[in-house]
Amino acid sequence: MTNTNAVIETQDLHKVYPSWRTRLNLAPAVPALKGVSLRVERGEIFGLIGANGAGKTSLVKILLGISRPTSGAARLLGGVPGDGAIRRRVGYLPESMRVQDHLRAESLLHLMGRLNSVPSSILRRRIPELLEQVGLAGVKKPVKEFSKGMNQRLGLAQALINDPELLFLDEPTDGLDPLGRKEVRDLLTRLRSEGKTVFLNSHLLSEIEMVCDRIMILHRGEVARTGSPEEFTRGAGEVVIRLTAVSEAVRAAAAGVAVVAWQATALRFTPRDQAHLNEMIDRLRAASADIEAIEPVKESLEQFFLKVVAA
Amino acid sequence: MITSYWDALHESLSRRVALVLIGLALVTSVGFNLLVKVTPLPNKQFRIVLGNAPLPMRDIGVPAMVHNLVSQQMGIAGTLWILGALFGAAPLFSSTLEKGWLELLFSKGTSRWQIFLGRFLAGATLYAITFGVATFPLAVRMWWQTDVRVWEISVAMLLFTLSFASLMAVAAMASLPQRGASLPILGGVAVWLFSPFLMRRAEMDAWPWVKPVLDWAYRIFPKCSELGDAASAYLKTGHITAWWPIWSTGVFIAVVMAYTLWSVERKSF
Ligand SMILES: Nc1ncnc2c1ncn2[C@@H]1O[C@H](COP(=O)(O)OP(=O)(O)O)[C@@H](O)[C@H]1O
Ligand SMILES: [Mg+2]
């Protein structure tokens, strides 16, 4: 744990939520995290995906020092989670934020800013900017009258109040309309271009696929896979060759090279290597087939995820 | 901590119970003032009458009468308003720990203990405000009309606020093991109801083994009743007759709050 470029580093985190039933041995303790080790580098958007109850929120709460691990260690920004000086450099959008009834959007942002020791003079300038950015400018209602989506937008604004270096977002697009989701994605890419690090929790895989640099799949408290979206969606090497028309001669030529599947005028097969693919193309051309396009078959992140989780 | 203090004050004042409380304090304050009639007599003397039934009057002198009146008014502030303010202020701790709000508060650069301490101080302030609203108008009016200053009322306020603070400390501690505001309120009320009982434990016939238990309970628990008596005595005499209830209650608050702040710091949520 010495590399200075790692913004988040954990080693073998375990978390068991104790309850009276488990303490009295009436029920077995079900661990929420079972040995999670991860590393997030500065400037990347890191996506954590997993089914409901996989342990994503538990992990984030440990990284923020809200909850304590049963065993294992975590470091962020070169310090320990829970240290006030470290937390002042971190932003956090909790999963189900609930704001006290007496607050309005502005007073909430002011309170959150002051708790992070942001000077009032900076807050006076930053609060209207942030409200504008998340589309809540001019909203005067108390927060308790906000819709789910407005609440979520306010949550984003408060997470950015201290201009954090590291941002934790737990299901940020939950309750947002498609436009709001797009805005969140744009926000994330802008933050990355400013050199910030983002740790994103989501079960909405398409979101993650679109913005994340690296993805970790958490399954029942364990790390199932870590990699880039490209690695995950590369597929098994299958290709599709689209033709303008199919004749019996073309079908015969293709069948002579490999086992293929036809779908109207498109054929799918998995070449052993590049030579195999080229041989197929040569044979098809020799049978006077007119090739329209050759495409690799990509897997969606969802398909990949379901495969990993089912395994 | 100061941020948390102001927010807690804001939060408690935005609760209906706190507004009702301060409103009622104001109403009783005004009502009591209306009942008191001051008529100037020659030789810089005054006739002060409470209510409209002219009871057989005893001449105890103007200053004594004025102190007596303020003391009566304070009696309400020391009982009714302590309970009322407890309903308004005890939830300040449990509301911090509400799911979804806790995550917002406890992920910021301010330590949990500072947030809790700020809320404790805000609760004590809420009570002091209620006390002030209930008693100060009469004292100020008497000063203005009869030139008798009842400045002792401010020391009495501090004594009552100390008593209230001990109940707030109990509420803070009771908010940790579970969610919700019921246990903190019940805890505070129970300690408050228990205190006159402990003060008069000697008058009770009890099994012999109960006595030392009660003695110890008396030594440990806050002495709300005695603090109330001390405040009345101070109003009459201008002297603190016994320091023991004051410092022992202070120690109780310090120990309970230290334990609570330490627990909230190390708790995993
Ligand atoms: N405060 C808690 N007390 C007890 N169990 C909890 C608590 N929080 C989460 N859990 C359990 O831990 C597991 C992981 O939950 P969570 O981290 O919220 O998952 P996710 O965010 O991936 O949906 C779940 O089985 C959940 O029931
Ligand atoms: Mg979650």
Question: Domains in chain A, please, with CATH?
Answer: 6-232 (3.40.50.300), 235-310 (3.30.70)
pLDDT digits (tens, 9 = 90+) for B13-45: 777 777 888 888 888 888 888 888 777 777 777
pLDDT tens, residue by residue, A175-197: 888 888 888 888 888 999 999 99
A111·B3 Cβ contact <8 A: yes
Q: Which residue of A has its CA nearest to B266?
A: A68
The answer to which of B15-24, B150-159, B192-201 has the lowest mean pLDDT is B15-24
Average pLDDT on B151-175 reads: 93
pLDDT tens track for B64-74 = 777 777 887 78
Q: How far apart are the first and last CA of chain A?
A: 31
The partner residues of A10 in beta bridges, in order of sequence, read A38, A74
Whether A114 sits inside 8 A of B3 (CB atoms) is yes
- The pLDDT > 70 percentage for chain B reads 96
The per-residue pLDDT for A184 is: 87
Structure tokens at B213: 């238990």
> What is the 8-class DSSP label of residue B39?
E
Q: How far apart are CA A16 and CA A31, in angstroms?
A: 4
Kindly report which listed range (A88-97, B46-55, B75-84, B170-179) carries the lowest average pLDDT score.
Answer: B46-55
Cβ neighbours for B134, distance < 8 A, ≥ 6 positions apart: B25, B26, B28, B29, B73, B74, B76, B77, B81
Mean pLDDT for A63-68 is 94
Q: Is A17 in the pocket of ligand 1 (CB under 6 A)?
A: yes
User: Please, what is the average pLDDT of chain B?
Assistant: 86
Q: Is A56 an 8 Å CB contact of chain B?
A: no
Question: pLDDT at position B57, please?
Answer: 55
| Phi-psi map region of B257: left, alpha, beta (phi>0 left; psi -120 to 50 alpha) | alpha
Per-residue confidence (pLDDT) for residue A1, from 0 to 100: 47
- Closest ligand 1 atom number to CA of residue A51: 22
Structure tokens at A173: 């697009």
What is the Cα–Cα distance from B222 to A182, expressed in whole angstroms? 58
Q: How far is A75 from chain B (nearest CA, A)?
A: 15
Choice between B53 and A285, residue whose per-residue pLDDT is larger: A285
Token pair listed for A299 = 């897997």
CB-side neighbour CA atoms (13 Å) of A87 = 28
Tell me the pTM: 0.86
So what's the pLDDT on residue B55? Answer: 52
- Residue whose Cα lies nearest atom 2 of ligand 1: it is A17
Distance A56 CA to ligand 2 centre (A): 5
Residue A94 Cα to ligand 1 midpoint, Å, equals 14
In this predicted structure, what is the pLDDT of residue A301?
83
Task: Check CB contact under 8 Å for A96 and B100.
Answer: yes
DSSP assignments along chain A, one per residue: ---TTEEEEEEEEEEE---HHHHTTSS---EEEEEEEEEEETT-EEEEE--TTSSHHHHHHHHTTSS--SEEEEEETTB-TT-HHHHTTEEEE-TT----TT-BHHHHHHHHHHHTT--HHHHHHHHHHHHHHTT-TT--SBGGG--HHHHHHHHHHHHTTT--SEEEEESTTTT--HHHHHHHHHHHHHHHHTT-EEEEEES-HHHHHHH-SEEEEEETTEEEEEE-HHHHHSTTS-EEEEES---HHHHHHHHHHS--EEETTEEEE--SSHHHHHHHHHHHHHTT--EEEEEEPPPPHHHHHHHHHH-
**Are A54 and A217 spatial neighbours (Cβ–Cβ below 8 Å)?**
no
A152 has pLDDT over 80: yes
Confidence of residue A64 (pLDDT cuts 50, 70, 90): very high
Question: Both tokens of residue B192?
Answer: 């408050």
Q: What is the pLDDT of residue A57?
A: 95
Q: Which residues of A touch B17 (CB under 8 A)?
A: none
Shortest CA gap B241–chain A (Å):
43
Q: Out of B10, B11, B107, whose CB is closest to A87?
A: B107
A91 or A306, which is more confident? Answer: A91
Mean pLDDT calculated for residue range B173-177: 94
Rounded to an integer, what distance in angstroms lies between the CA atom of residue A284 and that of residue A207? 39
Share of chain B above pLDDT 90, in %: 39
Task: Please state the rounded mean pLDDT for residues A241-259.
Answer: 89
Task: Flag whether residue A113 sits within 8 Å of chain B, measured between CB atoms.
Answer: no
Q: What is the pLDDT of residues B221-264, one digit of tens each?
A: 999 989 998 988 888 888 888 899 999 999 999 999 999 999 99
Q: What's B150's DSSP letter?
A: -
Ligand 1 atom showing the smallest separation from residue A61 Cα:
17
Q: Are B159 and B128 in contact (CB under 8 A)?
A: no
| Extended strands (E) in B78-153 | none
> In whole angstroms, how far apart are CA B18 and each of A272, B126, B190?
77, 8, 21
pLDDT at residue B153, rounded to an integer: 87
Residues whose CB falls within 8 Å of the CB of residue A17, separated by 6 or more in sequence, listed in order? A29, A32
Q: What is the pLDDT of residue B209?
A: 80
Cβ neighbourhood burial of B82 (10 Å; 0-12, 13-18, 19+): buried
User: Mean pLDDT, chain A, as a whole number?
Assistant: 89
Q: Are strands A71-76 and A45-49 parallel, antiparallel or unpaired?
A: unpaired
Task: Please list, residue by residue across A150-187, b when 16 or more beta carbons sit within 10 angstroms of its beta carbon and e when fewer do.
Answer: bbbbbbbbbbbbbebbbbbbbbbbbbbeeebbebbbeb
Per the model's pLDDT, the better-predicted residue between B14 and A68 turns out to be: A68
Asked if residue A216 lies in contact with residue A201, where contact means CB atoms within 8 angstroms, the answer is no
For residues A188 and A167, give the distance between their C-alpha atoms in angstroms, rounded to a whole number. Answer: 10
A96: nearest CA in chain B?
B100
- Pairing mode of beta strands A214-219, A261-263: unpaired
Cβ-based contacts of B264 with chain A (< 8 Å): none
Rounded to whole angstroms, the Cα distance separating A123 from A8 reads 28
Least confident of A137-141, A206-210, A249-253, B258-262: A206-210
Distance CA B91, CA B172 (A): 9
Domain ranges of chain B: 2-266
- Are the C-beta atoms of residues B16 and B129 closer than 8 Å to each other? no
